[in-house]
Amino acid sequence: MTILRCLTLLVALVSFGRAADGPALVGPNGEKRSEWHGYPRFDFVVADRPCLVVAPKVPAPGHPWIWRTEFFEHEPQVDLALLERGWHVAFMDARDMYGAPKAMALFGQFYARLVGVYDLSPRVVLEGFSRGALYAFNFAASHPNRVAALYLDAPVLDLRSWPGGNRASKEWPQALAAYGVTEETLASLKGNPIDRIPLVAGGRIPIVVVVGDADTVVPVAENTAILEKRYRELGGTITVIHKPGVDHHPHSLVDPTPIVNFLLKNAKF
């Protein structure tokens, strides 16, 4: 019996009231069980990093999933809507690594766990909020055959724009250190997402982006606008949803239907 089937059975038992008010349950592979918005949540560790997967009550055929790369629980409208449709939601805590190669190595281990042990789809939708887009885009550029679609929200796609736009910030030296570069050698960096657009386009990965047109933290002109232009020129599928007059926050949409519909229509599992 696969781990996913074991978790589904555990979900069924709890949904009928067994152990619902007792101590935290332990999943079949040592996971700690809790609840997240009424859905079963399983926490575990991969490569010394906290990880989790939230299970739907009835998994959809093919076991589709969405992977939040940063800021789990923040504006979860899309995650909740997809859980209702039978998708799984996953997260690995690789904070302060800015999508650098070390983060991608960790993500590779997490991906292997979710696909190999939990029996989820070999292709995943990556969900990148703000700096989380650095992770999502670089994973897609490195492993286009593993990615069904990208959902990017107020995305950072160029380190020179953010955190480089504020070089007095604590994030700027952190980002440089994560990539192993200095301000002087940054121009030679091969891992900046904005420069890896052809790799993602070559994988024919559909992208939906949500942006506030008045974003002063991650300027649209320096990030999403460049992605949209280049991606269309390369023949890629991309939809950009604009929020007039909105700054970097709030993320997502109050009604996530346009995002969800894009993913349901275009994600290639």
Is the predicted pLDDT of residue 82 greater than 50, yes or no?
yes
Mean pLDDT score of the chain: 90
Backbone torsions φ then ψ of 138, nearest 5 degrees: -70, -35
CATH number of the domain enclosing 66: 3.40.50.1820
- Per DSSP, helices labelled H in the chain are 3-15, 77-84, 101-116, 132-142, 171-179, 197-202, 224-233, 257-266
- Segment 219-230 shows an average pLDDT of 97
- Segment 74-103 shows an average pLDDT of 96
Burial label, 58 (beta-carbon count in 10 A; 0-12, 13-18, 19+): exposed
The pair of structure tokens assigned to 48 is 């010394």
In the block, which residue shows the tokens 């990208």? 150
Rounded CA-CA distance 149/129 in Å is 14
DSSP states of 75-110: S-HHHHHHHHTT-EEEEE--TTSTT-HHHHHHHHHH
pLDDT of residue 28: 63
How would residue 92 be classed by pLDDT, with cut points 50, 70 and 90?
Answer: very high
Is the predicted pLDDT of residue 7 greater than 80, yes or no?
no
pLDDT of residue 22: 35
Q: What is the DSSP letter of 143?
A: -
Is the predicted pLDDT of residue 78 greater than 80, yes or no?
yes
Residue-wise pLDDT tens digits, 143-184 = 999 999 999 999 999 999 999 999 989 999 999 999 999 999
Q: What is the DSSP letter of 225?
A: H
Query: What distance lies between CA 75 and its chain's CA centroid?
Result: 13
Is the predicted pLDDT of residue 8 greater than 60, yes or no?
no
Domain that holds residue 207: 3-266
pLDDT of residue 2: 52
Measured at the alpha carbon of residue 184, what is the angle toward residues 225 and 97, in degrees to the nearest 5? 65
pTM above 0.75, yes or no: yes
Report the chain's C-alpha Rg in angstroms.
19
Is the predicted pLDDT of residue 187 greater than 90, yes or no?
no
How would residue 18 be classed by pLDDT, with cut points 50, 70 and 90?
Answer: very low
The pair of structure tokens assigned to 259 is 């995002």
Structurally, the chain folds into a number of domains equal to 1
Residue-wise pLDDT tens digits, 234-256 = 999 999 999 999 989 899 899 99
pLDDT of residue 84: 97
